[in-house]
Structure 1
Amino acid sequence: MHFTLKRQTVPVNVATWASLEARVAERFARREGFALATINLDHLVKLNTSPAFRAAYAAQDFIVADGNPIVWMSRMARRPVELIPGSEAILPLSRIAARQGVKVAFAGSTAQALAAAKAYLEREVPNLEVVCCIAPPMGFDAASPQSVKILKEIEESGAGLCFVALGAPKQELFAATGRRVAPGVGFASIGAGLDFFAGTQKRAPDWARRYAVEWLWRMMANPKRLGLRYIKCFAILPGQMLRAVALRVKGTGA
């Protein structure tokens, strides 16, 4: 499945949980890095307007579907993919890392949240070793020399996997730079996932996720911050759905 933007085509190139886990395990076994992005409608909006974000996405090795609209459109195109939210990938990837002796780093959020997330994950995942926790200051520029310094610190810690909790587009820009600066580290962009474990942010309840209305729950909880974002997402949805139908009719696509 792929999504066509104004100047770029973005593929969802890892369709299932099983495929993601196998590909990550293979990279760990070879001690090779990667960058993992989780595409959703908000990312599509940003990709249409930001050349820097498009360049960062082009540097991602693995792209999965994070958002039910992405999954629904893949089915419309007859290129079905599974829902793989970044926050839900943390535990599976941590278990793979622990089994293969890969150390873990965190970048993003706050020092308090990272400490709590570290305690939670090391308790939940036997043999997991979180060796580096870095909370960049407010106003952190993911394309700055400071970013390179942080990436070098992560590399020197011996971590082979870094969960990046900076939010889009910062986390994808950070991961893209990481592929160049620290090529042996796998960077997984996971949004607020570590904050959920730490309890510093509240995740949507099970019923909202079950009925695919997590977005509505979030918007009602924070309408000033998210209202305009979701309006922009809904605005691009009809065009993307038409493209999905076109893929189905033509019988082509990635």
Structure 2
Amino acid sequence: MKFWVGTYEIDINIASQAALERAVEDRFNDDQGFALATLNMDHLDKLRRDSAFQTAYAAQDLVVADGNPIVWMSKLAGRPVDLMPGSDLVLPLTRLCAAHDVPMALVGSTQDSLERAADVLHRQAPGLQIVACIAPAFGFNPEREEARRILHQVALSGARFCFLALGAPKQERFAALGRELTPHIGFASVGAGLDFLSGSQTRAPRWVRKLALEWLWRLLSSPGRLAGRYARNFAVLPGHVLRSVVRKQPL
């Protein structure tokens, strides 16, 4: 499924969780790195305004659908995809790491949150190796010296997979740099996924998510921070819906 932001094209190239797990397993078996991004409406809005984010997205090897509007528009375009929020991928990818003896690093959030998330992951995936937990300093720039230093630290730890909890667009830009400097490491951008595990943030209840109202839960939980973001998301939604219908892709 393809989305367009002006002349820039984004391709959701992984349609299901089973396909994602196969792709990640293949990369593990071949000792190859990758970058995984989860496309949502906020990303589509940022992509139209941020050329550096466009460059970072072009470096993502695996792109999945994060957000019901993305899933609905994919159906309109005749290319249905599964809903795969980054938060829902944390445990499946962790269990793949444990099963394939792939050491893991956690980067982002706060040191306390990462360490508590690591405890949960160890309990959920026996045999898992978490070899680094790194919380960047406030004001972290994903392309400057600290980013390179962190990537060097991750590589020295022996990690072959790394969860990024930096938020968009920082995590995708950091992953793009990682693909350049540490091509043997896999990076998965999961936003608040680790904070949900650690309890640092509270995710919407499952029944709210089933009703496709997680966005409303988040808005009511933090209106000052999210009102502007969701207003911009809703503003660009009609254009993407129209393009999904007009540019319907034949099977």
Task: Give the TM-score, by structure 2 length.
Answer: 0.99
Contiguous gaps of at least 5 residues in structure 1:
none
Q: Deviations over 1:17-57 (max 9, x none)?
A: 01000000000011110000000000000000000000000
Matched length: 251
- Counterpart in 2 of 1:7? 7
**Separation in structure 1 between the aligned mates of residue 250 and residue 47 of structure 2, nearest angstrom:** 23
Q: Deviations over 1:73-120 (max 9, x none)?
A: 000111000000101111111111111110000000000000000011
- Counterpart in 2 of 1:151? 151
Shift of 1:208: 1.1
Q: Which amino acid aligns with 1:208?
A: V
**Separation in structure 1 between the aligned mates of residue 94 and residue 154 of structure 2, nearest angstrom:** 16
**Separation in structure 2 between the aligned mates of residue 50 and residue 227 of structure 1, nearest angstrom:** 20
Contiguous gaps of at least 5 residues in structure 2:
none
Shift of 1:7: 3.1
Q: Which amino acid aligns with 1:161?
A: F
Please say if residues 78 and 250 of structure 2, whose CA atoms lie closer than 8 Å, have aligned partners that are also in contact.
no
**Separation in structure 1 between the aligned mates of residue 26 and residue 94 of structure 2, nearest angstrom:** 14
**3-state SS of 1:139 partner:** coil
RMSD: 0.9
- Counterpart in 2 of 1:53? 53
Shift of 1:252: 4.4
**Separation in structure 2 between the aligned mates of residue 121 and residue 168 of structure 1, nearest angstrom:** 23
Q: Deviations over 1:1-26 (max 9, x none)?
A: 01011131000000000100000000
- Counterpart in 2 of 1:204? 204
Task: Give the TM-score, by structure 1 length.
Answer: 0.97
Q: Which runs of 4+ in 1 moved over 6 A?
A: none
- Counterpart in 2 of 1:194? 194
Q: Which amino acid aligns with 1:181?
A: L
Please say if residues 219 and 226 of structure 2, whose CA atoms lie closer than 8 Å, have aligned partners that are also in contact.
yes
- Aligned residue runs from structure 1 range 137-148, under 5 A: 137-148=137-148
**3-state SS of 2:22 partner:** helix
**Separation in structure 1 between the aligned mates of residue 206 and residue 119 of structure 2, nearest angstrom:** 24
Sequence identity (%) = 51
**3-state SS of 2:80 partner:** coil
1:181 correspondence with 2:177: no
Q: Deviations over 1:211-238 (max 9, x none)?
A: 0000001001111100010000000110
